[in-house]
Amino acid sequence: MSANASTARNNAHPSLDDRDIVFIDGVRTPFGKAGEKGIYHGTRADDLAVKAVRGLLERNPEVPAEKIDEISIAATTQSGDQGLTLGRTVGLLSGIPKSVPGFAIDRMCAGAMTAVTATAGGIAFGAYDVVIAGGVEHMGNHPMGAGADPNPRFLSERIVDPQALNMGNTAENLHDRFPQITKERADRYAVSSQAKLAKAYENQQIQADLIPVAAKRPGDGWAVNTVDEPPRPETSMESLAQLRTPFRAHGHVTAGNAAGLNDGATAALLASGAAVRELGLAPKMRMVSFAFAGVEPDVMGYGPVPATEKALAKAGLGIEDIGLFEINEAFAVQVLSFLDYYGIDQDDPRVNRYGGAIAVGHPLASSGVRLMSQLARQFSEDHSVRYGITTMCIGLGMGGTIIWENPNHADFGSKA
């Protein structure tokens, strides 16, 4: 950094310290349905990640590629076209200088979120100034759990309930724990998610962060994909009532009130406060705090609650200070258990304004950055909100939460 950039505060961004962690931009590919009928059936996972990274750099020409200090790309199944140290291979395939290192990371659904927090820690420490962090999941090429070999001690020593190894069962367990969260409530939440996403598309609030992807499906030829494939805007309470409950007879969880199996990639650009000034970057969010927490694996969907409690305590904030919530919708019951804990109505306008994973899809390790991109765009639209959170449940009983500050708020950066 130059001498001017090493000054803790200056007139360009007086509220940013040198080691502040700033979200500059986030993009994603359109999400597809996993399987032979999906738009990415003939596409490699690493090529999806390359598309996201290249699109991110093209949108931010003020960041020279040689200034990037690290690339972290997450994937849950790290084999085949999702293996070979993705951060490094994606960097090489994206045309980023060979001097820029990279690594892969796995925290299941919170892969991209962890890629962000891991590199953010490097920024705060002074090891990095500019990083790329994201995730990819091609669930068509790599079905959930494919090739996994859970240690038999999990079951023989009763370390983990057998149902904890199936995410749908853990969602049914949450319904058992919280009987007030009925199937009717879960279905109503799912209908709302679909409707909110459709409205966001209508208002051009989604398309701006999508990177078009040309893909060839066997037998169908090439097509340029510019919108998400999973949404079902026609979803109604009546149609959801007809769906079977595959995880339990007469259960609550269906394909309609849960996220689907999807393919897609995300990428985010993070920078230090010093780099923001040196390169003339425009901050979209500042990271305030983050936390991960564990819960019983058989109710893994409850993980966002203790993670949020930890993140709020670290930030010295209360839930009443949070003006926007981006909650990953792995299952409707998981979101509702979080909202009920904090006494927030499921129709509260602060919650998932653009809809969520039930509508748009959840390509596991990529989803964390989607939450961030959507929150950043809402910050740009609503300057009255100072703080927002991105939070998600994580397989085997964990949760992760990041608290962000809106640079458009009048009190941005105030330590009072």
The residues annotated as belonging to the active site are: 109, 362, 393
Spatial distance between the Cα atoms of 118 and 134, rounded to a whole number of angstroms: 11
Strands (E), 64-149: 70-74, 102-105, 130-138
Residue 249 near residue 241, CB atoms below 8 Å:
no
Exposure string over 146-167, b if 16+ CB within 10 A, otherwise e: eeeeeeeebeeeeebbebbbeb
Mind giving me the DSSP string for 317-383? --GGGEEEEEE--SBHHHHHHHHHHHT--TT-TTB-TT--HHHH---GGGHHHHHHHHHHHHHHH-T
CA neighbor of 395 nearest in space, from 290, 303, 262, 284: 303
Residue type, position 346, single letter: Q
Query: 384: exposed, middle or buried (C-beta count within 10 Å: 0-12, 13-18, 19+)?
Result: exposed
Helix (H, G, I), strand (E, B) or coil at 100: coil
Spatial distance between the Cα atoms of 75 and 45, rounded to a whole number of angstroms: 9
Cα torsion for 71, 403, 122, 127, to the nearest 10°? Answer: 110
Cα torsion for 94, 99, 100, 103, to the nearest 10°? Answer: 90
**Bridge partners of 73?**
104, 134
The angle at the Cα of 60, spanning 208 to 96, to the nearest 5 degrees, equals 120
The residue count of the chain comes to 416
CA neighbor of 336 nearest in space, from 362, 307, 302: 302
